[in-house]
Chains A and B, each alone.
Chain A
Amino acid sequence: DVKVTQSSRYLVKRTGEKVFLECVQDMDHENMFWYRQDPGLGLRLIYFSYDVKMKEKGDIPEGYSVSREKKERFSLILESASTNQTSMYLCASKPSGRVFYEQFFGPGTRLTVL
């Protein structure tokens, strides 16, 4: 079974802090994704990566950056956390090469910025 893990289930940070959210997948997938989920707004794509050191902006990249130094690990970075970044963050992975494959999601990280 595909396994996508996220470093924390719950995280509380203060405004202005630098925050790292880590995601690891164990299925050698080329593509990895970061989403945020908010009530009434649904799931929105922040960034995705289609290969090591490669990234592409999603629908809401402002205030975020990402890092993919190894194939299995994809990090989301909040350079200076703000209260409007309080949200549920979800990581996903997917094989490359064909559009027919499904995305597999991690358990999510609930981030609160005070």
Chain B
Amino acid sequence: KQEVTQIPAALSVPEGENLVLNCSFTDSAIYNLQWFRQDPGKGLTSLLLIQSSQREQTSGRLNASLDKSSGRSTLYIAASQPGDSATYLCAIPKGAAGNKLTFGGGTRVLVKP
């Protein structure tokens, strides 16, 4: 059974510092891994989807890496801003068609001005 873990559960950094968010998973046979952002009381916004054949995926200040052999993905956010304050979740598809997602518990980020 796939287990997805995000440590730490919360993180506080000063504005301008780079953010490094971790996601660990137990079963390396994955199709892809998706990173989401969630603002308080809101739905999830998809940030990046990294396929199992990729090692990195970039979008603006965001960069996600994937190392299947070690069961880890890392989301880097460069030059953090107060607007980056949110909870970040990673998720991995499961099931034959990969339609179901297993979510990590999330990392709550606070970027202080």
Residues of A near any B CB (own CB < 8 A): 4, 6, 31, 33, 42-43, 45, 48, 50, 58, 88, 90, 92, 94, 96, 99-108, 110
Inter-chain pairs besides A6-B43, A99-B98, A102-B46, 4 sampled, C-beta below 8 Å: A33-B99, A43-B89, A99-B32, A105-B46
Residues of B near any A CB (own CB < 8 A): 31-32, 34, 36, 41-46, 49, 51, 89, 91, 93, 97-101, 103-106
Smallest Cβ distance from A53 to chain B, in angstroms?
17
Name B94's closest neighbour in chain A (CB-CB).
Answer: A45
Q: Which of A94, A96, A105 sits near B43, CB closer than 8 Å?
A: A105
Q: Is the interface of A mostly helix, strand, loop or mixed?
A: strand
> Which has the most chain B C-beta neighbours within 10 Å: A45, A88, A103, A105?
A103
> Is B97 within 8 A of A50, CB to CB?
yes
> Is B101 within 8 A of A107, CB to CB?
no
> Is A108 within 8 A of B41, CB to CB?
yes
